[in-house]
Structure 1
Amino acid sequence: MSTYVYLNGDWIAPEHAKVSVFDRGFLFADGIYEVVPVYQGRPFLAEHHLARLDRSLAALAIPNHGDPFWYGLIEQLLARNAISDGLIYFQVTRGAETQRSHLPLGTLTPTVFASVSPLAVHWGVPTPAKVTLCEDIRWLRCDIKSISLLGNIMLKQHAQAQGAMEPLLFRGDHITEGASSNYFAVKDGALYTAPTDHLILPGITRMWVIELARQLGLPVYEQPFRVSELTQLDELFLTSSSREVQPIGQIDDIMIGQGQCGKITEQLVQAFHESKRKHCSS
């Protein structure tokens, strides 16, 4: 938990951070967020996270403070909270008015919030997890990292009730992503993952794993795999900034790779760890 958080130019204790009840983030979820992992005091793939933040802000026509501002916030968050390994959280809403109106009544000053939480960095191969298949009930602009996450929360609650780590979402017969992750299927030595369109959030860890896979000479196809193909997969794993590369051994009652971490997934786990080591030592 942060000792200090940033809110609209002030550094304050979390319990003292307050926003107006007329803030459009509070009333309408009119805002975006971004999460940046930090290893050994250094933000990992930060330029890609900040580019995604810029794309999300632009989609909502909310002004961006610019990369130097965000890098400065990262530096101060780590220093003020004495955290070396952590997850930086940024949130920007359109701002506050003095009454509730669906459309802004004038030019608003965005509300900017930032915090950091400790991250337990691991270096081993995670135990394969269970996921549960769910229809993707979310809106049709999943490429925007919106703070409107009610659909994601409902899906995560359902997954938890099924004893699963994460939902595996589908639209029609196509797998899209998770509630806070991207999925990769492995079949006959090749990787398959949903394309970066409006139906998924383009994960930064997803992007990096594709790059690592290609460095290893593994074929990668950015095309959706099907619900009807799940029983035929050799391996399945998910990616996210907090979980990195997480093997999946079970989808409801379907066992993947006899519930064990597959060889290609393990290769990518190790490649990801090696990229962290290089990042920390460079």
Structure 2
Amino acid sequence: MFSTVAVDGEVRRWEDLRLQDFAQGFFFGAGFFTTFRIDGGVPLFLARHLARLEASLAAFPGAVRPPARQHLSEPSVRDTLRRCLASDAALGPGFTGVGKLSASDGHLLLTLRPPAPDAERLRREGRALDAVEHGAYRRAESTPNHKGLSYFRQYALMERLPLLGNEAGEVCELPTANLFFHLDGALVTPPLDAPCLPGIVRAMLLEAGHVAGLPVVERPVPLARLADASACFFTNSAVLATGVPRLLGRELPQSLALAEQARALIEAAARRES
């Protein structure tokens, strides 16, 4: 992570932040965050990220003190990002990487980090998924629908990256991504009450309606049905879409091409919205 940050629109240094200003978020995880991709200094889908962040804050009004509304406006965040990039030679106006907005204790913290070191390799080669965490979630549990600062459950599983399932034996998500499967002539993603995070890229693909001629639908995905999947990819805002060339020991050679088509669709949407 870079040392340049911003708190409530004021450009600061990470080492100068005070723990007491974020005590509820630090000690209790009472807050929410969103991570967004930045390409050439331009944040992708920022309005959507802010809308999701505000929706989470509104869902827990008594537990999390939200930042002042003006700090959550898209023009304000864009201006804050611009000033952060301009103030640090290690970043610069053309910065490409990832931004993170964290809302807790009445403050909005913006931090920045470089792209994942394996991002290009993931685009080319994808990532095999060979593990399942059975019963990780309960069906209709609401907290996974929000990207809370209490993120240890997902963080502890990031390196292994298992499929997270619910008590009904259905697929929910990955620790850091939503899942899509080519099943029964459609591109299927688990529903929000599986549960899973309402990912920004996930929503974009559902809105698009089709990827590579396949209808995009939201419905339960039993773990037992994964043996019938002919392709799979996962999505998040940092890497957009990543193919899964091997799923639970089965080779899925169509996954990389399907992920590439999904990524092209999202990149085109990003150009329109940014």
TM-score by length of 1: 0.80
Change (3 A) 1:71 1:197: farther
* Corresponding residue of 2:155: 153
- Point out the more displaced range, 135-144 or 39-48: 135-144
Which of 236, 258, 271 aligns to 1:264? It is 258
* Corresponding residue of 1:100: none
Which of 189, 210, 217 aligns to 1:214? It is 210
Indicate if the aligned counterparts of 1:59 and 1:144 stay in contact, CA closer than 8 A: no
User: How far is 1:270 from its partner?
Assistant: 3.2
Deviations 1:158-192 (A, max 9, x none): x1xxxxxx221111221011111000000244100
Change (3 A) 1:177 1:216: same
* Corresponding residue of 2:66: 63
**Match for 2:78: what amino acid?**
Y
Change (3 A) 1:22 1:75: closer
User: How far is 1:200 from its partner?
Assistant: 1.1
User: How far is 1:119 from its partner?
Assistant: 2.7
State how 1:1-282 maps to structure 2 within 5 Å.
1-8=1-8, 10-20=10-20, 23-61=23-61, 62-64=65-67, 65=69, 66-67=72-73, 68-81=75-88, 82=92, 83-93=94-104, 95=105, 110-119=106-115, 122=120, 125-131=123-129, 132-137=131-136, 140=141, 141-157=143-159, 159=160, 166-171=161-166, 172-197=168-193, 199-212=195-208, 214=210, 217-252=213-248, 254-257=249-252, 259=253, 261-276=255-270, 278=271
Deviations 1:102-133 (A, max 9, x none): xxxxxxxx133211122367599431311221
For the pair shown, which has the larger CA radius of gyration, 1 or 2? 1
Indicate if the aligned counterparts of 2:11 and 2:80 stay in contact, CA closer than 8 A: no
Change (3 A) 1:125 1:5: closer
Number of residue pairs the alignment of both structures matches: 256
Provide structure 1 residue ranges, at least 5 long, that are not aligned to the other structure: 96-109, 160-165
User: How far is 1:156 from its partner?
Assistant: 2.5
Provide structure 2 residue ranges, at least 5 long, that are not aligned to the other structure: none
User: How far is 1:25 from its partner?
Assistant: 1.0
Name the CA distance, whole Å, in 2 between partners of 1:12 and 1:70: 15
**Match for 2:66: what amino acid?**
P
**Match for 2:40: what amino acid?**
Q
SS for the counterpart of 1:170 is strand
Indicate if the aligned counterparts of 2:137 and 2:164 stay in contact, CA closer than 8 A: no
Pairwise CA RMSD: 2.8
SS for the counterpart of 2:145 is coil
The percent identity for this pair of structures is 25
SS for the counterpart of 1:92 is strand
Indicate if the aligned counterparts of 1:234 and 1:262 stay in contact, CA closer than 8 A: no
